[in-house]
Amino acid sequence: MTTTISDAKTAARVLRQCLADDGFELSHSRALEIVAQQLGFADWNTASASLTAAQTDSGSAVAVLRIHDTALARGFYLDYLGFTTEWEHRFEQGMPVYMRIRRGETVLDLSEHHGDGTPGSVVWVPIGDLRSFHAELSRRAHPNLRPGIERDAPGGPTMEIIDPFGNVLRFCQPSE
């Protein structure tokens, strides 16, 4: 049986959870590095490149959005929009962060690395119940945002939100 990148990521999540259950904290990036070494690779980047090549099917595309401040991104994406962090990676302390966030089926990568993403990018995000999401955001209130729902948008009712880095998120409830 061939080990896939998905298998390796699952192993890293299980490793983190098992250690957390025993009172040991381990970052996701460190868990990935350990799994890579267990599989015989020098580091996660090498393992990721090798394991990806072994996959025969592709997954969903993930948009990479450029950020300039991790704390500001966390406040906006996690605290305000309700995403959770799947993992984050830094090559070493003080280096730019690259992180993956998720809310339901929506997955986004946020990167402080120069050249990753372009500020001002637009991402169209399908959402099942736009009114509920709008109400949730209205209860949280953001000091610089008061998003509204555009009812006559192409594709269905849409709520457009601009992040602190100029990226546009268009949450749309597709018309059937």
Give the pLDDT confidence of 119-133 residue by residue, as tens digits: 889 999 999 999 999
* Distance separating alpha carbons of residues 151 and 64, to the nearest angstrom: 28
Structure tokens at 51: 């394991």
Summarize pLDDT for 57-74 with one digit per residue, the tens. 566 889 999 999 999 999
Reported confidence tier of residue 54, pLDDT bands at 50, 70, 90: low
Sketch the domain layout of the chain as residue ranges.
5-54, 63-172
Percent with pLDDT over 70 in the chain: 94
pTM value is 0.67
Torsion, Cα 73 74 80 86, to 10 degrees, reads 110
- Domain 63-172: assigned CATH number: 3.10.180.10
**∠ at Cα 36 (35, 41), nearest 5°?**
150
Phi, psi of 85 (to 5 degrees): -85, 125
Summarize pLDDT for 78-104 with one digit per residue, the tens. 999 999 999 999 999 989 999 999 999
Q: What is the pLDDT of residue 126?
A: 93
